């Protein structure tokens, strides 16, 4: 087994996390400088490092103390917060940030509030097919605003023992997937465990997986942004038309869910899958450590969900789980760049990703060695991946709640029409600001 440290589910920023982040900022008031070690009286420059993922606080703290040992003139205040906005609202964006790359981060990229990192030596070592993912959310002319640090890849987690007992193949086409689910259902086994109570699991899994291999999500949402208030059934792209086939796939998959999916949470899903109560689970690598806590000898693997009958069209869902940035307003640019370069050293970034069930973003990165993720490695190597469609949907559109209703009623077409209406509404509001 690999490390039990998790990559963490992709966050969608809510009002609650916004307030929690604001509290974190208030709790960490940086000082201008402090005495150097050894009582020499020399001053050290103090910089603030904001990091998002609660589960890797200790990991990064160790790295920051190592950095301080190698750079005795710099002291790093390590703060963890779940939201970016409070930092910028208060005019205290820190000196280096390490956050999930999403629409919240994109807001500050597009406003030019992130410094240009293109001149750093480490920028040239990042895979362009990964750095291009952040551009799907936002860009600022002439700048590289974020250096992708960690790529999380997600597919279908499956119980190898169940598949072997019933002599089922890992499906490579949509038809094979439905046949496998049908065979499992006939054998009295839950084909897919779902956890509708936690809505993020629906958009991260069912929605994103059904869309990704059939639609170029970056191009689709780029065009949707261009159309704005003109999105509808007669536009060249829309939720109703472009996502019709993917949502038909989603509707079919939902018929293979556990009967009590509406009341089950993410924690319930990890427990049930760990106990062998389902054959498949639409979750990312962050769930693997939780499953292992239930049964660390459970033999599991991961494969890309096929949603067409062409095996070559299979792709995996990815997100830039962490990206490094330096706010343009930092008064400590030189020291911030030194910290970024330290964290981007191959031996450091590669080790972090190996330990956290993710993939390094560097061009010459080693393969992920955890057997549970072996089924996804070739897709990452070949850039056969997509960013989840749900990550492009603003949090003011309650996608997860719409999915709950669609699964319960079977009316996915109605959900898509509602998404079109919401998109037009938000576009109209933005046009008047």
CB 85 within 8 A of CB 52: no
Residue 136 and residue 204 in one domain: no
In a domain, 110, yes or no: yes
Q: Which of 99, 97, 96, 109 is nearest to 136 (CA)?
A: 109
Report pTM: 0.88
In a domain? residue 418: yes
Give the domain range for residue 224.
Answer: 153-317+389-432
CB 329 within 8 A of CB 335: no
pLDDT at 81: 80
Whether 228 and 328 map to the same domain: the answer is no
Task: For residues 174 and 229, state if they share a domain.
Answer: yes
Residue closest to 150 by CA, chosen among 73, 56, 65: 56
Answer for the pair 98, 324: CB distance below 8 angstroms, yes or no.
yes
- pLDDT for 9: 54
Of the candidates 400, 145, 167, 139, the one whose C-alpha atom is nearest the C-alpha of residue 262 is 400
The three-class DSSP label of residue 88 is helix
Q: At 332, which CATH number?
A: 3.40.190.10
Q: What token pair was written down for 260?
A: 């009590």
Tell me, yes or no, whether 360 and 239 share the same domain: no
Q: What are phi and psi of 214, to 5 degrees?
A: -110, -20
What pLDDT shows up at residue 20? 38
Burial class (CB in 10 A: 0-12, 13-18, 19+), 236: exposed
Residue 383 within any structural domain of the chain? no
User: Do 55 and 158 belong to one domain?
Assistant: no
Coil, helix or strand for 411? coil
Nearest Cα to 117, choosing from 321, 363, 330?
Answer: 330
Q: What is the pLDDT of residue 1?
A: 39
User: Do 160 and 147 have their domain in common?
Assistant: no
Give yes or no: residues 146 and 158 share one domain: no
Tokens of 286: 């962050």
Cα 212 to the center of its chain, rounded Å:
14
Do residue 310 and residue 283 come from a single domain?
yes
Q: Which two tokens stand for residue 47?
A: 């910089």
Mark whether 132 and 207 lie in a shared domain. Answer: no
**Which helix or strand (DSSP H or E) is residue 49 part of?**
strand 43-51
Looking at the structure, tell me whether residues 191 and 290 fall in a common domain: yes
382 within a domain of the structure (yes/no): no
Sign of CA dihedral 340, 100, 291, 189: negative
Same domain, 364 and 413: no
Question: Is there a domain that residue 1 lies in?
Answer: no
Number of domains in the chain: 2
Q: Are residues 61 and 102 in the same domain?
A: yes
Question: How many C-beta neighbours within 10 Å does residue 142 have?
Answer: 8
Cα 282 from Cα 264, distance rounded (Å): 14
3-state secondary structure of 299: coil
Could you list the pLDDT tens digit for every one of the 433 residues in the chain?
A: 333 344 455 444 433 333 333 334 333 434 334 445 544 556 899 999 999 898 999 999 999 999 999 999 999 999 988 788 888 888 888 999 999 999 999 999 999 999 999 999 999 999 999 999 999 999 999 999 999 999 999 999 999 999 999 999 999 999 999 999 999 999 999 999 999 999 999 999 999 999 999 999 999 999 999 999 999 989 999 999 999 999 999 999 999 999 999 999 999 999 999 999 999 999 999 999 999 999 999 999 999 999 999 999 999 999 999 999 999 999 999 999 999 999 999 999 999 999 999 999 999 999 999 999 999 999 999 999 999 999 999 999 999 999 999 999 999 999 999 999 999 999 998 777 5
Is the residue at 301 inside a domain? yes
User: SS3 for 302?
Assistant: strand
């Amino acid at each position: 087994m690999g490390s039990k440290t998790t990559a963490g589910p992709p966050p969608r920023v809510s009002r609650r996390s916004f307030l929690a982040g604001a509290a974190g900022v208030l709790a960490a008031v940086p000082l201008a400088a402090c005495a150097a070690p050894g009582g020499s009286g020399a001053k050290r420059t103090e910089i603030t490092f904001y990091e998002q993922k609660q589960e890797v606080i200790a990991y990064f703290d160790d790295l920051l103390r190592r950095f301080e040992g190698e750079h005795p003139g710099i002291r790093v205040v390590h703060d963890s917060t779940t939201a970016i906005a409070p930092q910028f609202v208060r005019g205290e964006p820190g000196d280096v940030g390490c956050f999930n790359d999403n629409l919240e981060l994109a807001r500050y990229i597009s406003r030019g509030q992130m410094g240009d990192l293109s001149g750093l030596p480490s920028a040239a070592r990042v895979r362009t097919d990964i750095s291009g993912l952040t551009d799907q959310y936002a860009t600022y002319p002439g700048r590289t605003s974020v250096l992708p640090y960690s790529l999380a890849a997600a597919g279908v987690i499956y119980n190898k023992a169940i598949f072997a007992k019933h002599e089922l193949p890992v499906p490579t086409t949509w038809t094979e997937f439905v046949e496998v689910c049908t065979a499992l259902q006939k054998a009295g086994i839950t084909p897919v465990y779902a956890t509708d109570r936690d809505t993020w699991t629906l958009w991260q899994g069912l929605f994103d997986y059904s869309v990704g291999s059939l639609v170029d999500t970056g191009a689709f949402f780029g065009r949707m942004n261009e159309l704005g208030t003109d999105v509808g059934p007669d536009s060249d792209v829309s939720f109703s038309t472009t996502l019709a086939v993917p949502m038909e796939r989603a509707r079919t998959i939902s018929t293979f869910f556990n009967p009590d999916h509406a009341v089950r949470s993410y924690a319930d899903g990890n427990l049930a899958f760990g106990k062998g109560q389902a054959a498949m689970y639409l979750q990312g690598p962050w769930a693997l450590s939780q499953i292992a806590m239930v049964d660390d000898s459970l033999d599991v693997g991961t494969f890309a969900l096929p949603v067409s009958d062409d095996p070559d069209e299979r792709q995996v869902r990815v997100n830039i789980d962490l990206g490094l940035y330096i706010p343009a307003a930092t008064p400590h640019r030189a020291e911030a760049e030194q910290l970024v370069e330290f964290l981007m050293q191959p031996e450091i970034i590669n080790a972090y990703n190996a330990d956290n069930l993710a993939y390094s973003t560097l061009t010459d990165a080693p393969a992920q060695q955890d057997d549970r993720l072996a089924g996804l490695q070739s897709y990452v190597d070949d850039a056969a991946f997509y960013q989840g469609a749900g990550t492009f949907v603003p949090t003011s559109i309650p996608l997860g709640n719409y999915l709950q209703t669609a699964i319960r009623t079977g009316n996915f077409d109605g959900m898509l029409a509602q998404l079109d209406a919401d998109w037009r509404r938000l576009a109209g509001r933005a046009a008047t600001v």
